[in-house]
Amino acid sequence: MDTQTLARILDLNHVLARNRPLKEFFQAALAVACESTAAAAAIIWAADEGGRQIVAIEADPPLPASDGPFKMPLTNSAAGWAVQYEQPVQLDDIAKEQPSILENQPEFPLQAARLLAVPIRFRGQALGVIEAFNKEDNFTYEDIAVLEHLAVLLGSGIHDARQQVHIKRLQKEIKKLDDLKSNFIAIASHELRTPLGLILGHATFLREMIPEEFREQMDVVVRNAERLKKLIEGMAQVNNYQSGTSRVRAQTFSLRDLITTLISDYRQQAEKAQVTIEASLPDDPLTIHGDESKLATALSNLIQNGITFNKPGGSLHISATRIPGYTQIRVQDTGIGIPPEALPRIFDRFYQVESHLTRQHGGIGLGLSITKAMVELHGGRIWADSTPGQGSTFTVLLPLHTIPTPSENPFELT
Ligand code: ADP
């Protein structure tokens, strides 16, 4: 093989390595194939994954436009034989040697008189063929060598192309499954809400009416119905956020006061769990413009987790401060911590570090995804740092100026 051909094949390597669109790489390979073998035309075929046919994926000169890519079965074509038997197929006079093959039929997109087909393999599997046509003279050993070199590179290219198709297909399937899950959650939370509202309403009413001795049982009914209501509301909240139907009902309020109220709401629960709650809050009221109830939900989940995943004798430290452009809130616990491999997933819907089989705590893995949704609705960010066995820190950044004012509002205002 002459050095010029070798240099061109090496150049192709760079095209492949540069991660350019695969079409560009296939076209460059065909140009090398035609020029180096003096063929008048060349086609790259890819075998379909069922191994039943080959599909023309690129041609030089391009094939006439038709409805879809040109296809041939493996059985009656020289290109098909090259794939099936994993060997080059050379026909110097098609009309005489193999008049019945598909490359010699009127529907074949070019008038093939002479051809050379070399299989394209990748990791021992035949993925396609490169086929050159109509050289003035017979194809030579050198031509076979050129196409075989090209076939090695094309193997990676076709493998990449297949991977891309696979990835796209998987992405589509994941999206479909995710849509199904979202629809299920939307329907389930909607359908559960009405009967639950009735149960809760009537149970609350009955609790006041029944004799004292049954009060305790009725309290259990009401408490658990309320718990169920919270879970259902949580599911609906993340779903609304994901489908883009969440609304911020913005108002101006003091974040410092909100945090103080939340801490006092959770103090009793923390005492029960033998966890001390401490706060570092500034004199500044940390006035912000946002949805107080959504931010209360977001912070409650962090405080709740900071108590739940703590250890007896542990502490929970909550701080809030202004930093340039943002209000920063930190919820820091001395609890069990989160393993590094779980850290990137804890904000996913329904994710829990412990399997639900061994889990000692309640919850369905929605708290943090709700928190993240609520923070992001405000244009903010949240992340976690953690050392297993020592504790976790959740940091929330809320931008000072990105909540839209009423006049420019994509948000619903109250
Ligand atoms: P859940 O309501 O089921 O606890 P979350 O979305 O609030 O779900 O949290 C997801 C998971 O992240 C939890 O199940 C827990 O394993 C882990 N996690 C959350 N917060 C903490 C924390 N402060 N310390 C340790 N693990 C935590």
Nearest Cα neighbor of 359 from 310, 309, 303 is: 309
CB 224 within 8 A of CB 231: no
Ligand 1 centre to CA of 230 (Å) is 17
What is the pTM (predicted TM-score) of this model? 0.63
378-414 per-position pLDDT tens digit: 999 999 999 999 999 999 999 986 554 443 433 333 2
Q: Which of 233, 238, 352, 361 to mutate to test the pocket of ligand 1 (most atoms within 8 A of CB)?
A: 352
Q: At what angle do helices 367-377 and 292-308 cross, to 10 degrees?
A: 150
> How far, rounded to the nearest angstrom, does the alpha carbon of residue 97 sit from its chain's CA centroid?
53
Ligand 1 centre to CA of 363 (Å) is 9
Residue owning the nearest CA to atom 12 of ligand 1: 346
85-100 per-position pLDDT tens digit: 999 999 999 999 999 9
Output DSSP code: residue 345.
G
The pLDDT score that the predictor gives to residue 346 is 95
Ligand 1 centre to CA of 324 (Å) is 30
Ligand 1 centre to CA of 352 (Å) is 6
Ligand 1 centre to CA of 304 (Å) is 9
Map out the domains of the chain as residue ranges.
Answer: 3-169, 172-243, 251-399
The pLDDT score that the predictor gives to residue 413 is 31
| Closest atom of ligand 1 relative to the 359 alpha carbon | 14
For the cut 60, the answer to whether the pLDDT of residue 246 exceeds it is yes
Beta strands 41-47 and 53-60, pairing class: antiparallel
Ligand 1 centre to CA of 353 (Å) is 7
The pLDDT score that the predictor gives to residue 17 is 77
Residue owning the nearest CA to atom 11 of ligand 1: 352
CATH no., domain 251-399: 3.30.565.10
Q: How far apart are CA 246 and CA 181, in angstroms?
A: 18
| Binding pocket residue ranges, ligand 1, CB within 6 Å | 301, 305-306, 309, 333, 335-338, 346, 351-354, 363-369, 392
150-170 per-position pLDDT tens digit: 999 999 888 888 888 899 999
CATH no., domain 3-169: 3.30.450.40
